[in-house]
Structure 1
Amino acid sequence: MSHPSSPAAPLTGATLWLAALALSAGNFIAVLDTTIANVSVPNIAGGLGVAANQGTYVITSYAVAEAITVPLTGWLAARFGTVRLFITSMLLFGLFSLLCGLSHSLETLLLFRVLQGLAGGPLMPMSQTLLQQIFPREKASIAIGLWSMTTLVAPVLGPVLGGVLCDQVSWPWIFYINVPIALTCGYLGWQLLKNQESMRLQLRIDIIGLLLLIVWVAALQIMLDEGKDLDWFSSTEIVSLAIISVVGFLAFLIWELTEHNPVVNLRVFRHRGYWVSVLTIALAFGSFFGSTVLTPQWLQSYMGYTATDAGIAQALSGVLSVLAAPLVAHLTTRTDPRRLVFIGVMWLGGVTLFRSFNTTDVGFWQVAVPLFFQGLGMPFFFIPLIGLAMSSVDEVEMASAAGLMNFLRTMSGAIATSLVTTAWDDKAKYYHDILSGLTDSGGEAMQQMSTAFGTEPARHLLNSLVDAQSIMLSTNTLFMISGLSFVVAACVVWLAPRPTHMADTSHVH
């Protein structure tokens, strides 16, 4: 990475806030699209006349493409310029979103979804880098706060917005809503940020590194998405994907660490503060994302909630996140960020552990209130942790560090989603077997219900009761594991050295 010979001054006044809005919106729609299609798969599959399991490729294709381009951001920014990369990505994201909505076959939709993911990948790290660049050094924590809010709120709002748009309009609108945002922010961004452009370097393309990255990331993502349906390692396909992923990753690691101009700068991991911060983010965000995926599935599938009601309950977790973010950004400049991270992640763990004692009689507010208060911990976890990570690397490594951090955060969410959905079913079957042996062992209840309803209805009713309790126990177990994972993540952050300075990102390109 490089910086210009005469660094551009930070922005001020209305120009600063308009530019910040454009950058935050770019990050928001990129993160939003990682989850907005989750509840829309049945609608998309039905609209295109394909099976529901084929519809899930709409999620997978975007995730794989985005995961590939996120860690490339540092190289792309050096090659094409930070502002040019952000604006181009934004406009292409809008174009491919429009084409996704216009698609009339699954093959066409998947093609444009891949292209949308490729365009959206750089939006997250570039918005982070440019936000920190345009704010004066003393207001760097505000930049991190803005970026963190959009990153945390977007995946929570995605399923809600997707469900409402599918129910009230039609599935193409989950893509169409990106178009005006992308066009407006692209135009505003260019007008306000073109003087912030970085100097471009004529770097050669690391073809081998790029190909290895594509191979191992694609194999890993497909393995995670298909594993549950194919019974994991009892499937030859999953075993093959696992081998390709591991071998590809090792080859990628060796190549990138020995290449003079690597496509992904792995050398940023030499900074202890950075790798500890990234490890903490991976553990905590994986726990957060796993429980975020599990909650609406549980509420809709077994608690009788509509998609909208489940989404509202989940979305309440974003309220205190937004309100507390400015305070946390202020505190980050005045206290040890490790302390704030520890408090925030322990709070998340405590609330999640509290949620692991639910019963099948739990009401809406008993679900929603803990989620509401859980949101308070998110800015304490995310905002100071990003500042700690970025203050640990050299200025010229900022874009590479941001790209890698976003990549590992995205992958931790994907891995957690796969683990949670698989473990949820497995644990439910385990508890069902145990409860079946304990329930009505003498047969008195079955006899009474058979007299009242008939044998088959009685058997069905009894089995339904066992199913409900099995799912509840499975859900509670996973919340318990998630809560303990938060506790581990909170302790890991103390491995980072105490920062001696705030990240000076005002000159970073």
Structure 2
Amino acid sequence: MNPTEVIPQLKGGKLILAAFVLALANFMVVLDMTIANVSVPHITGSLAVSASQGTWVITSYAVAEAICVPLTGWLAGRFGAVRTFSVSLFGFTLFSILCGLSTSLEMLVICRIGQGLFGGPIMPLSQTLLMRIFPPEKQSQAMGMWAMTTVVGPILGPILGGSISDNWSWHWIFFINIPVGLVCAYAAMRLLKSVETPIHRLKIDMGGLFLLVLWIGALQLMLDLGHERDWFNHPSIVILAIIALLGLIIFTIWELTERNPMVNIHIFKYRSFTISVLALAFGFGAFFGSIVLIPQWLQINLGYTATWAGYLTATMGFGSLLMSPIVAKMATKYDQRALACFGLCLLGGVTLMRAFWVTDADFMALALPQILQGFAVPFFFIPLSNMALASVLPQEMASAAGLMNFLRTMAGAIGASLAVTIWDDHSKVARSELVGNLHVTESQNTLMQQGMSDSSALAYISNLVDREASTLAANHVFLVLAAVFIFAGLMIWLCPRPKSGMGDMPSH
């Protein structure tokens, strides 16, 4: 940290309460990313729309949030980090109420956009403000608490969303935000007033804002619609890809030459920040790809209910909760590159275990990699977040946190899209290979001798082939994801050696 900036420190109970409020606000927003996913069938049924239209409930929130996250630095500089954080919480809560009261798909999508726009800055600002209220020697532990909420949120989201939609009504997945949002917003205004950041009269970079909305919107829509429309075999996906690529290039040139840029891309001049964020993005992309694929595979192949698939996925939460504070403490004493490399390689090993899953695997065989993954996640998440934010100046902290969370969010979206696409494509290839090696007539005759009818025997064989092909394809995806984890683990050694503790700035 820059020693010339004096930040008033909170102490005792006020510090603990402020940290809890920031972590809870972050948890609420992260939870909202996935809580609606399993509720889409309930929402589409209630509003009488198709399943493909229902996905706009998820897409609209993701696009709006992705656009607003990188603007966090500008918003904090223009209005102050605490003020922006509090207003974002109030806005998020207001749109949560409106989402719950929606009576049509159009109203719900518009309100989800509002929810995403206000929710975007909450995640990076909760991170920034935690760094401001804790002394340098305790900032690593603060990051541990923040990381814990970020990792556990997406796991609990589907379980909570499914339970609420099944037992109450889908409206309540939005209404549960009301008490949390209002309490956190009020508490933040009261507790964090003394750590408000300086305000500057920054001009609005309208050109940068337009280009940002254009390329992120095109990219997110391409990822959401790509699998459904057979990717680049459909003209609309090709057009979206061209818009996203050209938009990104023009946006980058614009922001690098703009005097008051909307997004401070110059932060990437710090080597430690750039490498840490890239490793985090690769790791999170592979992680998110696996947590999207596993529940689907469990339900399609093994006949798990949505609730039980959620329970199995959630077994990783125990390790994450247990190890987060321990890893945060270790990060102040040991080389954080080694901790991150260990975590990513362990994730690679765990994912490799999944590459040998079979269709008749029992619950414990499936849960063991999940439990081990829970122990591994804090090892890569906390040190990389620490290293990235320790390498920038205090006044750049909000911009750095915004960019880091933006790249992590987009990496998650890309990872999920690629994992599902590779799984689907490889299933077709595996099915063709299995059918080519199978003596269908012979197998059918054997089953008919056991009392099955002609059509029943054929259907049984077809179902068996589908299940095996799907499992072989999932194993293939896990091999790819394991390689991505190992690559990210090796990449981190390109970072300069950081000094111990969050407060000391490493070499850039």
Residue 446 of structure 1, aligned match among 444, 458, 461: 444
For this pair of structures, how many residues does the alignment match?
504
Give 1:328 deviation, angstroms: 0.7
Q: Which residue of 2 aligns with 1:464?
A: 463
Q: Is the 8 A contact 2:335 2:500 kept in 1?
A: no
Give 1:5 deviation, angstroms: 9.3
Q: Distance in 2 between matches of 1:329 and 1:421?
A: 33
Q: Which residue of 1 aligns with 2:320?
A: 321
Q: Which residue of 2 aligns with 1:198?
A: 197
Q: Are residue 31 (structure 1) and residue 18 (structure 2) matched? A: no
Q: 1:133-144 counterparts in 2 under 5 A?
A: 133-144=132-143
Q: Deviations over 1:341-389 (max 9, x none)?
A: 0111111110110111011111112111220121101111011111111
Q: Deviations over 1:464-502 (max 9, x none)?
A: 000010011011111111111101110000000001364
Q: Which residue of 2 aligns with 1:15?
A: 14
Q: Distance in 1 between matches of 2:386 and 2:114?
A: 31
**Identical positions, percent:** 51
Q: Are residue 96 (structure 1) and residue 95 (structure 2) matched? A: yes
Q: Which residue of 1 aligns with 2:145?
A: 146
Q: Distance in 1 between matches of 2:217 and 2:325?
A: 37
Q: Is the 8 A contact 1:392 1:503 kept in 2?
A: no
Amino acid at match of 1:413: G
SS where residue 35 of structure 1 aligns? helix
Q: Deviations over 1:327-347 (max 9, x none)?
A: 111111111100000111111
SS where residue 375 of structure 1 aligns? helix
Q: Deviations over 1:151-170 (max 9, x none)?
A: 11101111111111111111
Q: Is the 8 A contact 2:270 2:392 kept in 1?
A: yes
SS where residue 334 of structure 1 aligns? coil
Q: Which residue of 2 aligns with 1:66?
A: 65
Give 1:195 deviation, angstroms: 1.5
Give 1:6 deviation, angstroms: 7.0
Q: Which residue of 2 aligns with 1:394?
A: 393
Q: Are residue 248 (structure 1) and residue 247 (structure 2) matched? A: yes
Q: Deviations over 1:56-86 (max 9, x none)?
A: 1111000000000000000000000000000
Q: Are residue 491 (structure 1) and residue 490 (structure 2) matched? A: yes
Give 1:8 deviation, angstroms: 3.3
Q: Distance in 1 between matches of 2:464 and 2:412?
A: 32
Q: Deviations over 1:30-56 (max 9, x none)?
A: 111111111111111111100011101
Amino acid at match of 2:356: F
Q: Which residue of 2 aligns with 1:229?
A: 228
Q: Which residue of 1 aligns with 2:170?
A: 171
Q: Distance in 2 between matches of 1:426 and 1:10?
A: 55
Q: Distance in 1 between matches of 2:287 and 2:346?
A: 12
Q: Are residue 105 (structure 1) and residue 94 (structure 2) matched? A: no
Q: 1:35-434 counterparts in 2 under 5 A?
A: 35-434=34-433
Q: Deviations over 1:264-295 (max 9, x none)?
A: 00000011101100110011000000000001
Q: Distance in 2 between matches of 1:409 and 1:486?
A: 14
Q: Is the 8 A contact 1:132 1:505 kept in 2?
A: no
Runs ≥4 residues deviating over 4 A: 3-6
| TM-score, normalisation: structure 2 | 0.97
Q: Is the 8 A contact 1:317 1:373 kept in 2?
A: yes
Q: Distance in 1 between matches of 2:15 and 2:245?
A: 44
Give 1:183 deviation, angstroms: 0.6
Q: Distance in 2 between matches of 1:331 and 1:17?
A: 21
Give 1:392 deviation, angstroms: 1.4
Q: Distance in 2 between matches of 1:505 and 1:4?
A: 10
Q: Distance in 2 between matches of 1:245 and 1:345?
A: 30
Q: Distance in 1 between matches of 2:154 and 2:426?
A: 26
Q: Deviations over 1:389-442 (max 9, x none)?
A: 11212222111111000000000000011111111111111101110111225x
- Larger deviation, residues 194-203 vs 287-296: 194-203
Q: Is the 8 A contact 2:137 2:503 kept in 1?
A: no
Flag the 1:184–1:90 CA change in 2: closer, same or farther, 3 A. Answer: same
Q: Distance in 1 between matches of 2:392 and 2:199?
A: 21
Q: Distance in 1 between matches of 2:436 and 2:134?
A: 63
Q: Distance in 1 between matches of 2:265 and 2:500?
A: 23
Flag the 1:298–1:209 CA change in 2: closer, same or farther, 3 A. Answer: same
CA RMSD of aligned residues (A): 1.6
Could you list the runs of 5+ residues in structure 2 that have no partner in the other structure? none
Give 1:4 deviation, angstroms: 13
Q: Is the 8 A contact 1:286 1:412 kept in 2?
A: yes
Give 1:449 deviation, angstroms: 2.0
| TM-score, normalisation: structure 1 | 0.97
- Larger deviation, residues 405-414 vs 325-334: 325-334
Q: Is the 8 A contact 2:275 2:495 kept in 1?
A: yes
